[in-house]
Amino acid sequence: MEPAAAQPCAACGDDACAACRACSYALCRACLDEDTAEGRTTCARCGGEYAAAADPAHGSDGAEAEEMESHHATGGLRGRVTMGSHLSDRQDAVSHARTMSSLSGIGSELNDESGKPIWKNRVESWKEKKNEKKASAKKAAAKAQPPPVEEQIMDEKDLTDAYEPLSRIIPISKNKLTPYRAVIIMRLIVLGLFFHYRITNPVYSAFGLWMTSVICEIWFGFSWILDQFPKWCPINRETYVDRLIARYGDGEDSALAPVDFFVSTVDPLKEPPLITANTVLSILAVDYPVEKISCYVSDDGSAMLTFESLAETAEFARKWVPFCKKYAIEPRAPEFYFSQKIDYLKDKIHPSFVKERRAMKRDYEEYKVRINALVAKAQKTPEEGWIMQDGTPWPGNNPRDHPGMIQVFLGETGARDFDGNELPRLVYVSREKRPGYQHHKKAGAMNALVRVSAVLTNAPYILNLDCDHYVNNSKAAREAMCFMMDPTVGRDVCYVQFPQRFDGIDRSDRYANRNVVFFDVNMKGLDGIQGPVYVGTGCCFYRQALYGYGPPSLPALPKSSVCSWCCCCCPKKKVERSEREINRDSRREDLESAIFNLREIDNYDEYERSMLISQMSFEKSFGLSSVFIESTLMENGGVPESANPSTLIKEAIHVISCGYEEKTEWGKEIGWIYGSVTEDILTGFKMHCRGWRSIYCMPVRPAFKGSAPINLSDRLHQVLRWALGSVEIFFSRHCPLWYGYGGGRLKWLQRLSYINTIVYPFTSLPLIAYCCLPAICLLTGKFIIPTLSNAATIWFLGLFMSIIVTSVLELRWSGIGIEDWWRNEQFWVIGGVSAHLFAVFQGILKMIAGLDTNFTVTAKATDDTEFGELYVFKWTTVLIPPTTILVLNLVGVVAGFSDALNSGYESWGPLFGKVFFAMWVIMHLYPFLKGLMGRQNRTPTIVILWSVLLASVFSLLWVKIDPFVGGTEPVNSTNCNTVIC
């Protein structure tokens, strides 16, 4: 192994003096000495031996190191309790189940006898306590331990803050918005005049082409309207987390509402366990009162690998979580924390920090070794299936046919962290799968989690993350609570959506993976209407909103109007009752009218009947679990004190059985909605139809971060899946064009935006036609526009200008960069002519033939080679249409030039017009071309492109000038009279 002279120390960042022979894990002198002093002489990462930089003498070959590694890995596992023995229905697992007292004291509706909100009382008593504490705190300040951030912030001034609102809307300044709107209106008018001109001036010499182009243009105009108007009144928001703390307290006696975190994972080979583990660790370490946090991991692949790595992770969390909290580090996902390229010593004056960080890093490396060993072991499934450590076979050996599994790690009665503090519960859930039962992919998994969590912890809020989206801002849950727990804002909020942000995307974001335009422009626009759409991850739900109810401040919708389009049947009666009562009653009604068939219970008396009615109707919507049904009635969450942990686990197993949802409203009206691979859009849409609003929350430090596919093929397949989901919704009963007019609760601009999200794939058809047009024009010499008159020139220029100006003004209010905007434009074309087209056909096929589409999980990057993924190239049929269009246009340009050369000076003018359009297409497809080129583009692709182009032009030029071949007339030299001059 090379001496690590130039390497920085892996633990503290100083110049390293020694490195591991096997894996070049480097340490500096001080860290090495400390390691030796603590009796550790081998590498933390691989277990190999160190070599001093000055003295690379000790011999240790690769094989030896390898042996060490494997020894290390098994050694790590051997000491642990057998995990298998804790599975689900075993008695000892039961003891981990947690009982939680039902929660009180949230929201303004909870008042004390004098009618004063309880939280105000809290604040006052808090104030007193604070004053008492002050004296002792002063003494404590002399100690080395830095006070936790919250305590520094909390002084009297901030206590008065407790009465202030917890968030604020920051309107976008008038002088940015007014011109923006004016230009939109102007663009609309110019567009109208432009269409008038286009329609009244047909090109008779190329009628078909003209017709096609006009139809395409009208469609583009229409889709522009769908896209533009939901951005009419964008807003920004700001939260005040310190006020939240002042109002609801922090630490043990805090009245913050509990939150259940959901993580979904399905295939440990495509979604590496280390990534999932990092997500889990970041959740367990989140900055929130511990006893209010639970983390549920759904494993749809029923993989023992996922289970075992979770057990490892639970163990590691016992060190990691106290470390994060002690030093308030960010982010709290170790992989990403340790790979940060920043000076971590800045602002961290604590003397033991360096030492502990170093130890932590070492522990993490060891942990990683164990996880990697598990992964390596899992590569080849043994013939007889997996065997757990206690010798029994793993119940999930057949992922399509296995019982439900639940395992509770950590938590109240389970292991505590190394400082003796409690840890959040971590629950492994793998729902039952049997052949013949639909499992509904991610939506089904989330619904199973909704029920399990309702039975075990029943937090009033649910925060869901994909396995690859870790918590990047440990205050994320608090940010969400700034809306949810603010009585003036939160009452009708069904969810708080955070933008998706990504790590590890190439600097130029070649395939618009960041989706900046969507997350920073469209979503802000929606927030000004009824709220952002739900995008599947990084979203905090109000649990009650998932149960199919409407918002508390609105009367319940009559059942018929929820799912039909009659709006005449909901008379707005004014009843003098408290909102709460109305709400309660209406829920009952909702359920009763929804499902109940009276004839069945004719022979009971009045009272019994009404009891039965309500019970049966609940069961018909929520399924046959009385524990679960009871939990739904607890609006502020919590499980009954009396509940027995062992029955709870049994019940939890019951609610994840595969037949549980049969003949219920799950997936139809309740929970995540089935029927589309983009279940997220559908789920959010249903809530908005019921009258809920959602909130867009963009903390300065991104709340969550994920990974995105960065190679062309994977990206196109992701886009294909999204578009397919939209087409599915389009053909379903939930199509926003027709669905949910009932209560009139979906604002019309919001509806416009939902329509946009489901019709956009269809734009691929006109887009493909339009992208072919310039090539066809160049090849045939015809053109789609007649000779321009002066007026026409004005309309053309006006349209062109207004397009540019709207974009510029949009950039100005949203603050995004021009590059992001341009990438988005490009990818709109690339996706449009490939993935969207396929989605339309697959969607139609699915509708006609009932062919099911499978959810291909996006592979997550694993390797360390930076952006190596970007150049991975896999050939798929999706690539054919854009390649064809590209080649057509390139050939067209060449042919056009050759033709112009052939027919003399006067044809250069018309050529310019056509080449302009062709170049428009080529420029948009340029990133695609780069992708096609794959890795070899060490020399910039543009060079290759231009050289091919110029070579052809010049060779043709030469051929044309050559008098001997002058006689051969190419097809394209026919009439050019009707084109622009």
Ligand X SMILES: O=c1ccn([C@@H]2O[C@H](COP(=O)(O)OP(=O)(O)O[C@H]3O[C@H](CO)[C@@H](O)[C@H](O)[C@H]3O)[C@@H](O)[C@H]2O)c(=O)[nH]1
Binding residues for Mn(2+): 442, 466
Binding site feature residues for UDP-alpha-D-glucose: 264, 270-271, 300, 441
Give the list of residues 6+ apart from residue 511 with CB closer than 8 angstroms, or none. 710, 712, 715, 823, 827, 830, 927, 931
By CB under 6 A, the residues from 298 to 337 that bind ligand X are 298, 300
State the Cα–Cα distance between residues 702 and 516, nearest whole angstrom: 13
Please identify, among the stretches 31-39, 94-102, 289-297, 440-448, the one whose residues bind ligand X according to the rule CB under 6 A.
440-448
State the Cα–Cα distance between residues 163 and 165, nearest whole angstrom: 7
State the Cα–Cα distance between residues 690 and 750, nearest whole angstrom: 13
Shortest Å, Cβ 720 to ligand X: 10
**Residue 402 binding target from Mn ion, ligand X, none, CB below 5 to 8 Å by type:** none
Please identify, among the stretches 429-437, 483-491, 578-586, 714-722, the one whose residues bind ligand X according to the rule CB under 6 A.
714-722
Site for ligand X contains 682 (CB under 6 A): no
Site for ligand X contains 445 (CB under 6 A): yes
One of 93, 166, 281, 857 touching ligand X (CB under 6 A): 857
Q: What is the DSSP letter of 965?
A: G
Please identify, among the stretches 441-449, 739-747, 896-904, 922-930, the one whose residues bind ligand X according to the rule CB under 6 A.
441-449
Please identify, among the stretches 13-21, 174-182, 510-518, 853-861, the one whose residues bind ligand X according to the rule CB under 6 A.
853-861
Q: Which is nearer to Mn ion, 858 or 884 (CB)?
A: 858
Give the list of residues 6+ apart from residue 336 with CB closer than 8 angstroms, or none. 278, 470, 472, 503, 705
Spatial contact of 672 and 443, defined as CB atoms under 8 Å apart: yes
Where are the alpha helices (H) located in 438-521, listed in sequence order? Answer: 441-456, 476-484, 516-517
The percent helix, strand, coil of the chain (3-state, each to 5) is 55, 10, 40
Q: Which is nearer to ligand X, 690 or 721 (CB)?
A: 721
Q: Which is nearer to ligand X, 212 or 718 (CB)?
A: 718
* Residue 55 is among the residues annotated as catalytic for this protein: no
One of 26, 410, 467, 888 touching ligand X (CB under 6 A): 467
Of 949, 970, 806, give the one whose Cα is nearest residue 901: 970
Q: Which is nearer to Mn ion, 466 or 810 (CB)?
A: 466
One of 466, 810, 820, 869 touching ligand X (CB under 6 A): 466
**Residue 559 binding target from ligand X, Mn ion, none, CB below 5 to 8 Å by type:** none
Q: Long-range contacts made by residues 656-659, C-beta under 8 angstroms, separation at least 24?
A: 656/404, 656/406, 656/429, 656/431, 656/432, 656/448, 656/451, 656/452, 657/404, 657/431, 657/432, 658/404, 658/431, 658/432, 658/433, 658/434, 658/437, 658/439, 659/434, 659/437
* Residue 227 is among the residues annotated as catalytic for this protein: no
By CB under 6 A, the residues from 281 to 300 that bind ligand X are 298, 300
Spatial contact of 627 and 651, defined as CB atoms under 8 Å apart: yes
Site for ligand X contains 271 (CB under 6 A): yes
The number of beta carbons lying within 10 Å of the beta carbon of residue 415 is: 15
Please identify, among the stretches 55-63, 328-336, 672-680, 968-976, the one whose residues bind ligand X according to the rule CB under 6 A.
672-680
CA distances 704 to 108, 324, 533, 540, 891, Å, are 29, 17, 17, 12, 46
Site for ligand X contains 677 (CB under 6 A): yes
Query: Of 299, 680, 714, 820, which residue is the catalytic one?
Result: 680
Q: Which is nearer to ligand X, 470 or 795 (CB)?
A: 470
Q: Which is nearer to ligand X, 670 or 861 (CB)?
A: 861
**Residue 714 binding target from Mn ion, ligand X, none, CB below 5 to 8 Å by type:** none
Site for ligand X contains 69 (CB under 6 A): no
Spatial contact of 497 and 532, defined as CB atoms under 8 Å apart: yes
Query: Of 300, 527, 820, 899, which residue is the catalytic one?
Result: 300
Q: Which is nearer to Mn ion, 501 or 751 (CB)?
A: 501
Spatial contact of 830 and 924, defined as CB atoms under 8 Å apart: yes
One of 680, 714, 810, 820 touching ligand X (CB under 6 A): 680
One of 24, 313, 453, 718 touching ligand X (CB under 6 A): 718
**Residue 537 binding target from ligand X, Mn ion, none, CB below 5 to 8 Å by type:** ligand X
Give the list of residues 6+ apart from residue 798 with CB closer than 8 angstroms, or none. 190, 193, 194
Q: Which is nearer to ligand X, 725 or 766 (CB)?
A: 725
Binding site for Mn ion (CB under 5 A): 466, 858
Give DSSP secondary structure letters for 150-207.
HHHH-SHHHHHHTTS-SEEEEEPPHHHHHHHHHHHHHHHHHHHHHHHHHHHS--GGGH
Of 559, 562, 617, 561, give the one whose Cα is nearest residue 590: 559
Site for ligand X contains 402 (CB under 6 A): no
State the Cα–Cα distance between residues 31 and 483, nearest whole angstrom: 46
Binding site feature residues: 264, 270-271, 300, 441-442, 466
Chain-centroid distance, C-alpha 467: 10
Spatial contact of 340 and 709, defined as CB atoms under 8 Å apart: no
Strand partners, 940: none
Q: Which is nearer to Mn ion, 275 or 878 (CB)?
A: 275
Q: Which residue has the tokens 């109000």?
A: 542
H or E stretch covering 265: strand 259-265
Burial track 230-251 (b if 16+ CB lie within 10 A, e otherwise): bbebbebbebbbbbbbbbbbbe
Cis link prior to 393 (omega < 30° from 0)?
no
By CB under 6 A, the residues from 74 to 93 that bind ligand X are none
State the Cα–Cα distance between residues 514 and 214, nearest whole angstrom: 33
The number of beta carbons lying within 10 Å of the beta carbon of residue 223 is: 18
One of 86, 243, 442, 543 touching ligand X (CB under 6 A): 442
Shortest Å, Cβ 298 to ligand X: 6
State the Cα–Cα distance between residues 574 and 297, nearest whole angstrom: 45
By CB under 6 A, the residues from 481 to 540 that bind ligand X are 536-537
Q: Which is nearer to Mn ion, 646 or 858 (CB)?
A: 858
Give the list of residues 6+ apart from residue 99 with CB closer than 8 angstroms, or none. 412, 639, 641, 643, 645, 648
Return the biggest CA–CA distance within the chain: 107
By CB under 6 A, the residues from 567 to 596 that bind ligand X are none
Shortest Å, Cβ 509 to Mn ion: 16
Give the list of residues 6+ apart from residue 185 with CB closer than 8 angstroms, or none. none
Shortest Å, Cβ 780 to ligand X: 41
- One symbol per residue from 89 to 118: x for binding ligand X (CB under 6 A), - otherwise; what is it? ------------------------------
**Residue 300 binding target from Mn ion, ligand X, none, CB below 5 to 8 Å by type:** ligand X
Please identify, among the stretches 258-266, 302-310, 375-383, 696-704, the one whose residues bind ligand X according to the rule CB under 6 A.
258-266
Shortest Å, Cβ 520 to ligand X: 17
Which residue of this chain has its Cβ atom nearest to ligand X in the complex? 536
Site for ligand X contains 678 (CB under 6 A): yes
Please identify, among the stretches 259-267, 366-374, 601-609, 895-903, the one whose residues bind ligand X according to the rule CB under 6 A.
259-267
Give the list of residues 6+ apart from residue 412 with CB closer than 8 angstroms, or none. 96, 98, 99, 291, 422, 425
Site for ligand X contains 722 (CB under 6 A): yes
Shortest Å, Cβ 503 to Mn ion: 12
One of 98, 243, 332, 441 touching ligand X (CB under 6 A): 441
- How many residues bind to ligand X according to rule CB under 6 A? 23
One of 654, 721, 734, 751 touching ligand X (CB under 6 A): 721
Site for ligand X contains 404 (CB under 6 A): no
Q: Which is nearer to ligand X, 440 or 751 (CB)?
A: 440
**Residue 783 binding target from ligand X, Mn ion, none, CB below 5 to 8 Å by type:** none
State the Cα–Cα distance between residues 396 and 402, nearest whole angstrom: 5
Active site positions, annotated: 300, 680
The residue ranges that bind ligand X (CB under 6 A) are: 264-266, 271, 298, 300, 441-442, 445, 466-467, 536-537, 677-678, 680, 718, 721-722, 725, 855, 857-858
